[in-house]
Amino acid sequence: MQKLDPTKMKDWEIAEAAEAGLRPAKELAAELGLQEDEWTPYGRVLAKVDVTRVLRRLGEKKRGKYIDVTAITPTALGEGKTTTTLGLVEGLGRLGKKVVGCVRQPSGGPTFNIKGSAAGGGLAQVVPLTSLSLGLTGDIDAITNANNLAMVALNSRMQHERNHDDAWLAERGLKRLDIDPERVQMRWALDFCAQGLRNIEIGLGGRLDGFNMKSGFYITVASEVMAILAMSADLADLRRRLGRIIVAYSKSGAPVTTADLEVDGAMCALLVNAIQPTLMQSIEGQPVFVHAGPFANIAIGQNSVVADRLACALGDYVVTESGFASDMGYEKFWNIKCRCSGLRPDAVVLVATVRALKAHGGAPKVKAGLPLDPVYTTENLELLEKGCDNLLAHIDIIRRSGVQPVVCLNAFYTDTQAERDLVRRIAEAAGARFAVSDHWLKGGEGALELAEAVIAACEDPNEFAYLCDLSEPLKDRIEKQVKEVYGGDGVDFEPLALEKLAAFQANPDTAQLPVCIAKTQYSLSHDPNLLGRPKGWRMPVKDVLIYQGAGLIVPVAGEIKLMPGTSASPAYRRIDVDVETGHVHGLF
């Protein structure tokens, strides 16, 4: 294989060059100790793994050290969290550790839009890139279909109840649900950024053309079905959760579920293979499980519980990743995912870059398509020190969970030694371990300092504990999260939100569900313009949603879109195929 040089090659070129040396799935499965009936090949280098069979044989006891990777508040410059996750996997591999990575499947929306795929970058990637980015083994397609089947069932039922009397329904074994078209909770799903489908009207035409009502789409990864896949313990748990999804309310206010529509079994049938994680690998050949893909600003932002449990049963070190920053992804890892999985982190890595910290310190705003301001590429200790307030906020969030983080400074060639030393001093003064990692340029070799720091951190005692007890009132838990995690002064609930909270609190089936706040990822607050470590703000909560199947209460703070929009310069403009070889190029 040719020498891979990230300074002279694009990510897709590196991934394509690496494909010739990929290890067969059979070899990876054998190295993990999987038996032949516990995995199914998808071509030469991909496989689906049957979690139920593996855990039934090995038992539920956690074996591997469990490491979560999170980051400071995102900026337009990027922090390289997935790249760092893969770099750490490769670094631990270089040290002879039996390591397994766990990451989310990329969503088609970002892949074809601005962000691109979620494969990592440089010499720290999941491969093969094309398979990962363009559907993989079909999980997101299955989730899209399961979600939309529920919507088909809902609209069909509404049409037939409108067109026929109770006797006609009874002849067909149906009971009138009397669904309120103004209180439909579910939407259609599509895994692209399609802002034109956020709000639509369906059922136009005659009485045979469906029920006429307002509707809309969300991106598939924001679907409750995706959250359920990420949180389910096994196929049986997935089946139970699917039947509890509230799709609408009746005119009397009663919830109408997928079980009421008798569509939950068929939805599960579409997801039988999707509950099994996909086995892939890093560029350096370490095994990586890819599974689930919900966003952290509008969902739980984690790869699946089953992938982590599987990895912890098979590996000595397990590296997983939480979406966005620690106030978003890590908070949900800490208070939601760990409750579902029963796992506890042995170490937490907090990723930062000098450039992103300067942005939080007040450097000029980055504008797409324009050159970076020179302040980002030349030494500026004053801006950097101001920006470290954001780093300190995230250190405090992780420490609030009972774990001292390892701060990873993701290296860029423009960093000066004085800048790196400044971040080190600030991080260590706050009680965190610190490492500089050059994994993008050097792969596992560049991540050795980080890997060694993480190994040491895994031996540190920690006092991991949840932020709240689920017996505490929902309103109190929301306010506690805003004050103690985000750093706000309190919460302003709009009347609709208070009304819904009171109803959820009065219901014993919902009063003790975990809280999953939906807010912007670009600030510790609800306002994306408040960078750094904002003070003196209050969080407005205008609505509170319930994902009863996933088991989540979702307060909505600020303006959150469940269907992102496509930019004027999307990634799909640069993606194409070599018609002679069939190779896809232009992914990033």
Per-residue pLDDT, averaged over 214-221, amounts to 95
Residue type, 345: P
- What are the contacts of 27-33 at 24+ separation with CB within 8 A? 28/279, 28/281, 28/285, 28/287, 29/279, 31/287, 32/100, 32/287, 32/314, 32/315, 33/314
3-state secondary structure of 343: coil
Please say which residue of 205, 236, 267 terminates a domain. 267
Structural contact between residues 291 and 280, judged by C-beta atoms closer than 8 angstroms: no
Q: For residue 11, what are the CA distances in angstroms to 44, 134, 440, 467, 579? A: 22, 15, 10, 39, 20
Residues 303 and 186 in one domain: no
The residue-averaged pLDDT of 207-233 equals 94
Q: 298 and 411, same structural domain? A: yes
* Whole-number pLDDT of residue 2: 58
Give alpha helix (H) positions in 102-252.
108-111, 129-133, 139-163, 166-171, 224-231, 235-242
Please tell me whether residue 351 adopts helix, strand or coil conformation.
Answer: strand
pLDDT digits 0-9 by tens, 31-69: 999 999 999 999 999 999 999 999 999 887 668 899 999
Of 39, 440, 493, 504, which one is the catalytic site residue?
Answer: 440
- Whether 434 is catalytic is no
Residue 105 falls within a domain, yes or no? Answer: yes
- Cβ atoms of 332 and 302 closer than 8 Å: yes
Selected catalytic residue, list 188, 412, 493, 537: 412
Active-site position among 324, 434, 504, 537: 324
Asked whether residue 324 is assigned to any structural domain, the reply reads yes
| 317-363 residue pLDDT tens | 999 999 889 999 999 999 999 999 999 999 999 999 999 999 999 99
Please give the angle made by the CA atoms of 463, 465 and 467, to the nearest 5 degrees.
Answer: 140
Structural domain count, the chain: 3
pLDDT value for 147: 98
* CA neighbor of 539 nearest in space, from 511, 560, 510, 553: 560
Q: How many CB atoms lie within 10 A of CB 264?
A: 24
Whether residue 345 contacts residue 62, with contact meaning beta carbons closer than 8 Å, is answered with no
Domain range spanning residue 79?
11-138+274-459
**Does residue 468 sit within a domain?**
no
CB 379, CB 419: distance < 8 Å: yes
Nearest to 226 by CA among 262, 279, 186: 186
551 with 490, same domain: the answer is: yes
Question: Are 418 and 336 contained in the same domain?
Answer: yes
The token pair at 323 is 């979406």
Q: How far is CA 226 from the centre of its chain?
A: 10
- % residues pLDDT > 90 (the chain): 83
- Cα–Cα distance measured from residue 531 to residue 74, given in angstroms and rounded to the nearest whole number: 10
Angstrom distance (rounded) from CA 511 to CA 513: 6
- Span between the terminal Cα atoms of the chain, in Å: 21
- Same domain? For 416 and 320 the reply is yes
- Give residue 106's Cα distance to chain centre: 9
* Given 75, 83, 353, 520, the catalytic residue: 83
Give the count of alpha carbons within 13 A of 480, CB side only: 17
Q: What CATH number has the domain bearing residue 201?
A: 3.30.1510.10
Judgement on whether residues 47 and 98 belong to the same structural domain of the protein? yes
At 474, which helix (H) or strand (E)? helix 474-481
Known catalytic membership, residue 337: no
Residue-level pLDDT at 427? 98
Contacts of 38 (CB under 8 A, 6+ apart): 29, 49, 50, 53, 54, 57
Whether residue 1 is predicted with pLDDT greater than 80 in this model: the reply is no
486: closest CA among 299, 347, 332, 338? Answer: 332
Residue position matching structure tokens 């969030």: 397
| Assigned domain for 578 exists | no
Query: Quick check: 314 and 64 in contact, CB under 8 A?
Result: yes
Residue 243 forms part of a structural domain = yes
Average pLDDT over residues 382-394: 97
pLDDT tens digits along 429-474:
999 999 999 999 999 999 999 999 999 999 999 999 999 999 999 9
Segment 388-405 mean pLDDT: 97
Selected catalytic residue, list 48, 65, 81, 433 = 81
Task: Please give the Cα distance from 204 to 71 (Å, whole number).
Answer: 46
Q: Which residues contact 517 (CB under 8 A, 6 or more apart)?
A: 478, 481, 482, 554, 555, 557
- Indicate whether 565 pLDDT > 60: yes
The answer to whether residue 584 is domain-embedded is no
Residue 134 shares a structural domain with residue 151: no
96 and 202 in a single domain? The answer is no
User: Would residue 324 show up in a list of annotated catalytic residues for this protein?
Assistant: yes
Based on the fold, state whether residues 369 and 513 are members of the same structural domain.
Answer: no
Catalytic residue among 23, 62, 115, 344: 115
Is the domain of 280 the same as that of 221? Answer: no
**115 among known catalytic residues:** yes
Query: What's the rounded Cα separation, in Å, for the pair 568 and 515?
Result: 35
Rounded average pLDDT over 383-400: 97
Q: What is the pLDDT of residue 213?
A: 95
Could you tell me if residue 453 is inside a domain? yes
The answer to whether position 3 is within a domain reads no
104 is catalytic: yes
Query: Which one of the listed residues 296, 411, 453, 557 is annotated catalytic?
Result: 296
Catalytic choice (104, 309, 332, 355): 104
Judge whether residue 298 has pLDDT over 80.
no
- The DSSP H or E segment spanning 373 is none
Per-residue confidence (pLDDT) for residue 114, from 0 to 100? 82
Active-site residue flag, 168 = no
> Is-catalytic flag, 358?
no
- Average pLDDT of the chain to the nearest whole number: 94
Name the domain boundary from 221, 241, 267.
267
Residue 136 contacts residue 125 (beta carbons within 8 Å): no
Instruction: Using a pLDDT cut of 70, give the percent of the chain over it.
Output: 98
- Please tell me the predicted confidence (pLDDT) of residue 515: 96
pLDDT in tens, 157-191: 999 999 999 999 999 999 999 999 999 999 999 99
Catalytic annotation present for 412: yes
CATH code assigned at 282: 3.40.50.300
